[in-house]
Amino acid sequence: MKRTFFCFMVLWITLGLAGALAETPLGFGYVNTNRTNMRESPGGPIVTRLDDGDAVYIISEKTDSQGRVWYQVNTEYDAERPATLWVQSDYVTAGSGLFSDIVQVAAGAKGMLALKSDGTVVGVADETLDTRVFRDTIAAWETVQQVACGDMTYLALLEDGSLRGFGNMAYEDWNSVRGVRLLDADGMDIAYVTQDGLCDRDQNPRLVVLREALDWRLAVQIAACDFGVVALYPDGGTCFAFYTNENWAETYRGIAEWTDMAAVDFGDWSFTMEGTDNVYLRPLLAGPHRDGTVSTLPENLFPDAEAWTGITDVKAGWDFIIGLRADGTAVCAGGDDALAAQVAGWTDITAVDACMRYCVGLKEDGTLVFAGTYEF
């Protein structure tokens, strides 16, 4: 009897720990009332208040003794105090109440955008921006075909090939941009390709080309980073890249050997690489091959990913990559144990995206799931 009880307790504790580790955050949301209290604990002392439209990232939820549901959230309100507090769930719009009927999602360093099937957009922005103006601005976008996010940069590509944006956009003359068919954003940088084969990076005379440059009109995907862009072509799944800095390009010489690729993606600034005259931070470049395996530059960063199979897409974050499997599940390499456990619990996923230390998955039913941490 004692042996049975002991085994039961071990199993119960193990399952409990596994459940806690794999607990998936509800992700982004925003306050839906004029003013709501933020507390140290559910029902505990009031620390501060948030207003309508203020953004939060929901880490977990808890039901108190009176049956009220509380959200534990990350929200930046005072640099001198902890940013993790509790708020009643009734006063926050999140989950399927905010993200439903979604067909594409873009994760950014300061928030995210989600495209709905009717061509409208929903999303959440960091408190650095006026979140109420952000919410009203993106709500007015219509006939959107694609969304993209950089660092406080939010973009939408419309059916007519024109662009809409919010955030760090002052340096772009959006009124002159027409006929865009491919779009990407990363950090403070934006790249696009038009129907007539113009790439906005093509105008820089100092570019360093890696692999033979092909006609931009044939490219099927682009991936942007601060000093360059990678283009993916359907013929053999080849990649071509060019950069405006030789030291930068040196990190990615290996892309000339990449073939049979299904997609490419840049991560965020994280990995230190030795350049010709200094040490630099470089973003990770990753992509799945058509045979379901994965390549990265720099190489050998994620030993676990070298054994992956059946991968149809890869997205890169700060220090991790997430792979989407053909069966709708996902895997994660790098990051921490909690992130990997959360991603491992995903099912029915049709698309993924990642940025900084969080990632998001789009489910078949048009809702979103989140993993990792995000701090406003």
pLDDT tens-digit map of 132-154: 899 999 999 999 999 999 888 89
Mean pLDDT of 311-336: 96
Q: What percentage of the chain exceeds 90 in pLDDT?
A: 62
pLDDT of residue 212 exceeding 70, the answer is yes
Q: What is the pLDDT of residue 311?
A: 98
Rg (CA), the chain: 22
Mean per-residue pLDDT of the chain: 86
Q: Point out the least confidently predicted range of 80-84, 163-167, 305-309.
A: 80-84
C-alpha dist (Å) from residue 250 to 6, 241, 243, 298: 58, 12, 10, 11
Mean pLDDT of 222-229: 86
Neighbours of 334 (CB within 10 A): 22
115 contact partners, CB below 8 Å, separation of at least 6: 102, 103, 104, 105, 121, 144, 145, 146, 147, 156
Neighbours of 232 (CB within 10 A): 20
Nearest residue to 358 via CA among 28, 19, 22: 28
Tokens of 235: 């013929």
Tokens of 358: 């969080």
pLDDT digits (tens, 9 = 90+) for 85-108: 999 999 999 999 999 999 999 999
pLDDT of residue 170 exceeding 70, the answer is no
pLDDT digits (tens, 9 = 90+) for 343-362: 999 999 999 999 999 999 99
Tokens of 339: 């992130």
Mean pLDDT of 62-74: 95
Map out the domains of the chain with their CATH numbers: 2-94 (2.30.30.40), 262-376 (2.130.10.30)
64 contact partners, CB below 8 Å, separation of at least 6: 42, 43, 70
C-alpha dist (Å) from residue 110 to 28, 98, 129, 339: 11, 18, 9, 19
Nearest residue to 230 via CA among 246, 247, 216, 245: 216
pLDDT of residue 340 exceeding 60, the answer is yes
Q: What is the pLDDT of residue 10?
A: 39
Reported pTM? 0.89
- 71 pLDDT band, cuts 50/70/90, is very high
pLDDT of residue 305 exceeding 80, the answer is yes
What is the CA angle 363-368-370, rounded to 5?
115
For 133-171, the three-class secondary structure string (H helix, E strand, C coil) is: HHHHHHHCCCCEEEEEECCCEEEEEECCCCEEEEECCCC
Instruction: Please answer whether residues 362 and 368 qualify as being in contact, where contact means their C-beta atoms are separated by less than 8 angstroms.
Output: yes
Instruction: Please answer whether residues 194 and 217 qualify as being in contact, where contact means their C-beta atoms are separated by less than 8 angstroms.
Output: no
Q: What is the pLDDT of residue 30?
A: 93
Of 318 and 244, the structure prediction assigns the larger pLDDT to 318
Tokens of 136: 């009203």
Mean pLDDT of 293-301: 92
Q: What is the pLDDT of residue 203?
A: 56
C-alpha dist (Å) from residue 375 to 11, 31, 78, 144: 34, 16, 12, 28
pLDDT of residue 45 exceeding 90, the answer is yes
Report the Cα 252 to chain-centroid distance in Å: 22
Q: What is the pLDDT of residue 320?
A: 96
pLDDT of residue 77 exceeding 80, the answer is no
Instruction: Please answer whether residues 287 and 295 qualify as being in contact, where contact means their C-beta atoms are separated by less than 8 angstroms.
Output: yes
Q: What is the pLDDT of residue 6?
A: 42
Mean pLDDT of 60-71: 96
Report the Cα 151 to chain-centroid distance in Å: 11
pLDDT of residue 365 exceeding 60, the answer is yes
Mean pLDDT of 3-11: 42
Q: What is the pLDDT of residue 98?
A: 95
Q: What percentage of the chain exceeds 70 in pLDDT?
A: 86
